[in-house]
Amino acid sequence: MKRLTITLALAALLMTGCHNDNKEFSTTAINATRCYLLSYDEQMGPWGDTIGLKKVLEVEWPAKGFLSADAERELMKLCFDDSTSTGVDMAARSWLAKPYIYTDDGEAPHVEKVDTLDESSEYSYMAVRCSATHDSTLATFHVGIEIFGAGAAHGIYSSHTLTVDLESGNVVRLTDLVSDTNLLCEAIARAIFDLDANRDVRECLFDEYRGADRMPMPASFFIDSARNNITVGYDLYDIQPYACGIPSVVLPIFWLSKHVDLTPYAKRLFGPDSYIKE
């Protein structure tokens, strides 16, 4: 594997204010790979006393000015588990520079940064991928994290989304869309049991949620490009076993409006034909 060069370049846009008026939404690429050899004083499984670690970033980051400072910190937290760095460049470099995938109180290994790893050997792996979609009103960031520890039975995965209003640059939350989150959680339960689109989730629920009249608050959500559905997502193990994957529940907007009132912002966002009129 040839040497991979870390590229952490952000486009500089001359502008003022917290969002980019009259500018087409754009992103820049943050693509990087960092490899390490971690050596311990005792043997660590069948690969001996040395374990490889590969960390990968494949991130689309919004050009400067499209996100508010709070929204950018929230996206940095999702991607890099870092909301305190002064910018994405620092957050990405800090993430790459940490030669571990988990933190614990065990033996600290000797760390050697290397150009490549032997692809025929087993090694630990951590990847962060972030892609962006947008229209004239909203930008949605899809963040997936993949972690595999050498010797583990399986990897750990997460998938979260962050939706941003491009006019304000602020994060759109479920509380911006529905008037009552308790009723929303009840509606999610109804959607799982009543709608064919959610059959796979229904058939794989933990026993405690079979027949439940409400579900937990989702971890994240996204709005489809046609503005017909809100899809809410949960983390692994939240409502179903690992083998069933990362669960998501489709909530058609018109159907949802029968069970919980949409906010004025949501009515403007989805249009007058998307909800039950009073």
Q: What is the pLDDT of residues 74-83, one digit of tens each?
A: 999 999 999 9
What would the mean pLDDT of 95-120 be, rounded to a whole number?
Answer: 82
- Type of residue numbered 85: S
Cβ burial 92-116 (10 Å sphere, 16+ → b, else e): beebbebbbbeeeeeeebeeeeeee
pLDDT at residue 6 tops 50: no
What are the residue ranges spanned by the domains of the chain? 7-165, 174-221+237-270
Question: Tell me: the pLDDT tens digits for 230-263?
Answer: 999 999 999 999 999 999 999 999 999 999 999 9
pLDDT, position 152: 86
11 has a pLDDT exceeding 80: no
Cα distances from 71 to residues 163, 171, 221, in angstroms, run: 9, 6, 15
Helix-strand-coil percent breakdown of the chain, rounded to 5? Answer: 25, 30, 45
44 vs 256, residue with greater confidence: 256
**Does pLDDT of 89 surpass 50?**
yes
Picking from 229, 188, 230, the residue whose alpha carbon sits closest to that of residue 209 is 188
Residue 278: other Cβ atoms inside 10 A? 4
> Does residue 164 have a pLDDT over 80?
yes
Half-sphere exposure of 118 (CA within 13 A, CB side): 8
Q: Which of 222, 248, 73, 24 is nearest to 141 (CA)?
A: 222
Coil, strand, or helix at residue 85? coil
Give tens-digit pLDDT for 186-195. Answer: 999 999 999 9
Lowest pLDDT segment from 14-23, 117-126, 172-181 = 14-23
Say which DSSP state 197 is in.
G
At 107, is the pLDDT very low, low, confident or very high (cuts 50, 70, 90)? Answer: low
- The least confident of 90-94, 115-119, 136-140, 249-253 is 115-119
Enumerate the β-bridge partners of residue 139: 134, 164
As a whole-number percent, the residues of the chain with pLDDT over 70 amount to 87
pLDDT of residue 8: 37
Token output for 149: 């520890």
d(CA 263, CA 176): 7
Q: What is the DSSP letter of 9?
A: -
Question: For residue 150, what pLDDT band results from cuts at 50, 70 and 90?
Answer: confident
Task: Supply the pLDDT for residue 22.
Answer: 54
The superfamily (CATH) of domain 7-165 is Fervidobacterium nodosum Rt17-B1 like (3.30.565.40)
Mean pLDDT, all residues of the chain: 88
